[in-house]
Structure formats: structure tokens, C-alpha cells
Amino acid sequence: MILLFLPLLIYGAGSLGSSILKIARQFCRHILVADIVEEKLKEAQKSGATYTIHVQRENFQEKVLAYTQGRGATVSIDAACVADSLQLLLQATGNAGRVITMGFSTTPVPVNPFLITSKELDIRGSRLQNHMFGKAIEMIREGKLDLSHSVSHTFPLTEAQAAFDLADRHDPSVRKIVFTFS
């Protein structure tokens, strides 16, 4: 397996971002993870993030530049899709880099086209499908991908409403909810 040393930046350490981190660790050894929740950043460090950035407590751009020797990230992934995340990633990604949006927000956000053009950035969207489910299952079977900490809550199907209520509260402890059948 070839390990890449390019700087990868993941913005968002929730269930999507943490899954991306676990897969990225198979191929990349220089991973930065940014979030606003301290517990999620600690979990990202345990899962192999090289550096973490607390977006509300630290200067995001300064930290990215410091952790990438002034070049910026080669690939940046927006796993949060919050109001300013795309713009922050356009700024934090280095020349000829790639920015990938993977979250599902329908709220329009401002974008500075000058950053895209002047840095020659490649902007892409992804829904995590791209015929990779078979590869993901293979990685789990081989023990290369550990998803044991991905599930935070389990509910019997008869308590589905309680699970939906929990998800609607946006509690930061919620990662993935699994329904069980008896």
C-alpha cells in the first residue's frame, strides 16, 4: 500500500468526518481535522489525526499554514457544510489543491471565485457512493477499517420516535444511531 504524505484537511469531526478520517488513514499520513467540539477533536486524535484545530478557539488559517509548512492543504474535505466552512477551505487549500464538499446543506453560501481561479483549485462534490461500498466492506472484513466507535446509540425499532427525537436535538454525542429488531 502506498501512503501519501500530502496534507489532507477534514472540516467536521462528526459521524461523516470521523468515517472519512478512518478511511483516509489507510492512504494518508498527514491529516488535519477541524471542528468546534473538543470531544470530537479528541476522538479524531485517537483515530489518527496528525493535528486538530478547534475552529472557535484557534485561528484556523494560521494553524493550517503552520501544520502544512506554509503551503496549505493539498486536499480539503468539507464534512460539516456549515455557513463558512466552504469559504474557509478555499482559503486553507494550497495552490492546485482540491476541495470536496460532502455534507448535505441546502443553505446557499457565499463563495469567492477569485480564490478558486487564482489558486487553480479543483472543487468537487461527493455523495460517498462512487461504487466503493464493496471496497469498504472488504476493508472492514480485513480489519483495516474499524467502525466500532461509529455507533453512539442503539434503539429497538419500537422506540424509533425516541431515536428521531434524540437526533433532532443535535446532541454532539450522537454519531450514528442503529435500530435493532427483536
Residue 13 CA, distance from chain mean position: 5
pLDDT for 142: 87
Tell me the β-bridge partners of 10: 33, 77
pLDDT for 151: 81
Q: Give Rg (Cα) of the chain.
A: 17
Cell (9 digits) for 4: 501519501
CATH number at residue 60: 3.40.50.720
Average pLDDT, the chain: 89
Whether residues 94 and 164 fall in one domain: no
Categorize the per-residue pLDDT at 5 as very low, low, confident or very high, splitting at 50, 70 and 90.
Answer: low
Edge-first strand order for the sheet with 122-125 is 51-54, 28-35, 4-11, 73-78, 93-101, 122-125
171 three-class SS: coil
Q: Is 133 a domain residue?
A: no
Task: List the domain range (segments joined by +) for residue 76.
Answer: 4-125
18 three-class SS: helix
Q: How many domains, in total, are found in the chain? A: 2
With a pLDDT cut of 90, the percent of the chain lying above it is 55
Q: What is the average pLDDT across 105-115?
A: 89
Whether residues 106 and 156 fall in one domain: no
Contact, 103 vs 78, CB < 8 A?
yes
More confident residue, 179 or 9: 9
pLDDT of residue 164 exceeding 80:
yes
Contact, 40 vs 52, CB < 8 A?
no
pLDDT for 58: 98
Q: Express each pLDDT in 39-59 by its tens digit.
A: 999 999 999 999 999 999 999
pLDDT of residue 88 exceeding 60:
yes
